[in-house]
Amino acid sequence: MAQGNVKKAPNKQPVTSGGNKKPATKPNTVHQKPTTPPPSPKITTREKQIIWEDDNDVDIEDITFTVPIIISFIILFVFFLRKYIRWNVECQSQNRIEGKTVIITGANTGIGKATATELARRGGRVILACRDKKKGEAVAVKIRSKTRNPDVYCYALDLGSLASVKEFAEEFNHREPSLHTLINNAAYMGPKSMTKDGYEMSLGVNYLGHFYLTYLLREKLKKSAPSRVINLVSDSYTKGKLDFEDLALTKYDIYKAYGRSKLAMVMFTTELHRRLAHDIIQIYGVHPGMVCTDLLRNWPGLSGNIIRACARVLFKSPEEGCQTVVFCTVADKLREMSGKVLENCNVYKVKASAKDKELCKKLWNVSLHLCGMDDQIPPEEQSSSGVEGTNGTSLLTAEDIGSTHAQEEKKEK
Ligand SMILES: NC(=O)c1ccc[n+]([C@@H]2O[C@H](COP(=O)([O-])OP(=O)(O)OC[C@H]3O[C@@H](n4cnc5c(N)ncnc54)[C@H](OP(=O)(O)O)[C@@H]3O)[C@@H](O)[C@H]2O)c1
């Protein structure tokens, strides 16, 4: 502090010659009463309020106007945000699917359960592929009674175990004559853990288990063509990075791990289309939007509680979230959209790097290796879109493509 600026108070006491300090005036003990401090005036509440307002420089009337304005603004913001997030296009197709068999993985809850209910309502033979068979059977009973469709069953499937996937596929291939639609829906999102085969759980369940399942069921899909595979993806694929040298994801983060598994699903959609389209199997990725389900159940801590609370207020219902999946299962003339990702029953633009041919091929071969099928890597299969094979040659001519499409339309009729 600059001491030079401080003014000294003048010394009002006179100094006597002897240097003794004396009071300037003696109190007159006879006439003057000892001075008592005057009684402080009573301050009314209103006066106190005014003093407080003066001190704080805030007008109480300002507050009574500002607070409601802020609250209204927050309510409006939440209202429009909710509208934006829940904007949903319903499946317009009224097609029924009697005589068609559909598998839905993870159908005991959330989007899978809503999809199963709607497809059962449309007359399909619906197979719920669930990790917990008891839960799955209970849901199957409910769907049967709700939709009056007796053709709803549950098979046990743990996507976190390649042995379980194989068992499921063998049982299905043995018992069921056909498979028209495979819906790869199940997913894990949560703290780091490992599948029974030692792979990081999100990648293992959300992608690798589905890769293996699709691979093992593809002969059935081919036999039942025209058939469809629907992969549930998510816009969080943009947060995922696929590093083949670090599949264990050493720097684990829930959202990044989930995003990586969904990136793998987008790439799988591209590659599967390239390999299977000539067999008249159509492949779709579906991003359902933000849906209030159990997906966030494993997100730990306060942030988990906050996200779950927001989801309850802002997100779509599972019945709304399943509309594009239902659309891809039942609608006609979707061939042009095969190999693409859809949201709200329309094409959703995917970033080019997620469709990189070489990376998609590499992921396919690495996945075969992870599933213990190195020795079964098939020669490059043909593509309906005339894209290149592994050796860089175009495999189908325009004529081939035309005849494949004609064949497909004929079969669809
Ligand atoms: N909800 C969203 O906002 C959102 C957004 C984008 C994409 N998606 C995608 O939509 C799909 C459905 O998700 P959802 O929101 O409906 O989630 P959900 O309610 O959590 O349902 C996930 C299902 O997957 C099953 N599952 C988990 N681990 C499994 C395993 N190892 N083997 C077999 N099944 C397993 C669960 O079974 P248990 O009940 O036994 O655990 C459950 O039935 C997922 O692919 C998800 O990534 C969802």
Ligand 1 center to 249 CA (angstroms): 21
164 in a domain, yes or no?
yes
Question: Quick one: which H or E segment has residue 231?
Answer: strand 227-232
Is residue 31 in a domain? no
Answer whether 285 contacts ligand 1 (Cβ < 6 A). Answer: no
Ligand 1 centroid – CA 164 distance (Å): 18
Query: 199 is written with which tokens?
Result: 């792979």
Instruction: Provide the residue-wise pLDDT of the chain in tens; the chain has 413 residues.
Output: 334 444 444 444 443 433 444 444 444 444 555 566 666 666 677 666 655 555 556 566 777 888 888 998 899 888 888 888 888 889 999 999 999 999 999 999 999 999 999 999 999 999 999 999 999 999 999 999 999 999 999 999 999 999 999 999 999 999 999 999 999 999 999 999 999 999 999 999 999 999 999 999 999 999 999 999 999 999 999 999 999 999 999 999 999 999 999 999 999 999 999 998 887 899 999 999 999 999 999 999 999 999 999 999 999 999 999 999 999 999 998 999 999 999 999 999 999 989 999 999 999 999 999 999 875 655 554 444 433 333 332 223 233 333 444 454 454 44
From 103, 131, 230, 299, the mutation candidate for ligand 1 (largest count of ligand atoms within 8 A of CB) is: 131
Residue that has been written with the tokens 């309502």 in this structure? 121
Nearest CA to ligand 1 atom 46: 187
Query: What's the gap in Å between 293 CA and the centre of ligand 1?
Result: 8
Domain count along the chain: 1
CA of 103 to the centre of ligand 1 (A): 15
Q: Is 293 in the pocket of ligand 1 (CB under 6 A)?
A: yes
Instruction: Looking at the CA of residue 158, tell me the nearest atom of ligand 1.
Output: 32
The one catalytic residue in 212, 215, 258, 284 is 258
Cα distance from N-terminal residue to C-terminal residue, the chain: 92
CA distance 250 to 240: 14
272 in a domain, yes or no? yes
For residue 160, the ligand 1 atom closest to its alpha carbon is 31
Amino acid in the structure at residue 253: D
Residue 112 tokens, joined: 């899978």
Q: Is the CB of 132 under 6 A from ligand 1?
A: yes
CA distance 314 to 106: 23
CA angle 152, 232, 171 (to 5 degrees): 40
Alpha carbon of 238 to those of 261, 266, 292, 350, 363: distances in Å? 11, 10, 21, 9, 17
pLDDT of residue 88: 86
**CATH number of the domain residue 315 falls in:** 3.40.50.720
Q: Which of 86, 109, 133, 265 to mutate to test the pocket of ligand 1 (most atoms within 8 A of CB)?
A: 109
CA distance 334 to 91: 13
Phi-psi region of 188 (alpha: psi -120 to 50; beta: other; left: phi over 0): beta
In a domain, 19, yes or no: no
Burial class (CB in 10 A: 0-12, 13-18, 19+), 385: middle
Residue range of the domain that includes 267: 97-387
Q: Is 265 in the pocket of ligand 1 (CB under 6 A)?
A: no
Distance (Å, whole) CA 250 – CA 154 = 36
Position 191 in a domain: yes
Burial label, 200 (beta-carbon count in 10 A; 0-12, 13-18, 19+): buried
Q: Which atom of ligand 1 is nearest to the CA of 205?
A: 31
Radius of gyration over every alpha carbon of the chain, rounded to an integer in angstroms: 36
Q: Is 237 in contact with 259 (CB distance < 8 Å)?
A: yes
Query: Is the CB–ligand 1 distance for residue 188 below 6 Å?
Result: yes
Q: Which two tokens stand for residue 401?
A: 């493509």
CB 385, CB 274: distance < 8 Å:
yes
List the alpha helices (DSSP H) in 148-205.
Answer: 162-175, 201
CA of 189 to the centre of ligand 1 (A): 8
DSSP state letter for 132: S
Among 154, 194, 232, the mutation site with the greatest number of ligand 1 atoms within 8 A of its Cβ is 232
Distance 25 CA to ligand 1 centre (A): 93
Task: For residue 168, tell me if it sits in a domain.
Answer: yes
Tell me if 90 is assigned to some domain.
no
Which residue lies with its CA nearest to atom 24 of ligand 1?
A: 186
In a domain, 403, yes or no: no
Reference 192, options 264, 257, 262; nearest CA is: 257
For 184, the token pair is 């790869």
Residue 84's identity, in one-letter code, is Y
pTM for the model stands at: 0.80
**Exposed, middle or buried, 186 (CB in 10 Å: 0-12/13-18/19+)?**
buried
Query: For tokens 């190195």, what's the residue?
Result: 374
Instruction: Ligand 1, residue 186: give the atom nearest the CA.
Output: 24
In terms of Cα–Cα distance, which of 287, 282, 285, 384 is closest to 333? Answer: 282
The residue whose C-alpha atom lies closest to atom 1 belonging to ligand 1 is 291
Closest listed residue to residue 202, CA positions, set 258, 266, 267: 258
Tell me, what's the pLDDT at 391? 30
Q: For residue 226, say if its preceding peptide bond is cis, omega within 30 degrees of 0.
A: yes
All residues at 6 or more sequence positions from 386 whose CB lies less than 8 Å from its CB, including other chains: 394, 395, 396, 397, 398, 400, 401
User: From residue 156, how far is each of 103, 129, 132, 207 by CA, in Å?
Assistant: 12, 6, 7, 18
Ligand 1 midpoint to CA 138 (Å): 17
Judge if the beta carbon of residue 234 lies within 6 A of ligand 1.
Answer: yes
Residue 258 annotated as catalytic? yes
Q: What pLDDT sits at residue 218?
A: 94
Q: 154 in ligand 1 pocket by Cβ < 6 Å?
A: no
Look up tokens 């390239």; give the residue: 274
- Can you tell me the distance from the alpha carbon of 189 to that of 258, in angstroms, rounded to the nearest whole number? 6
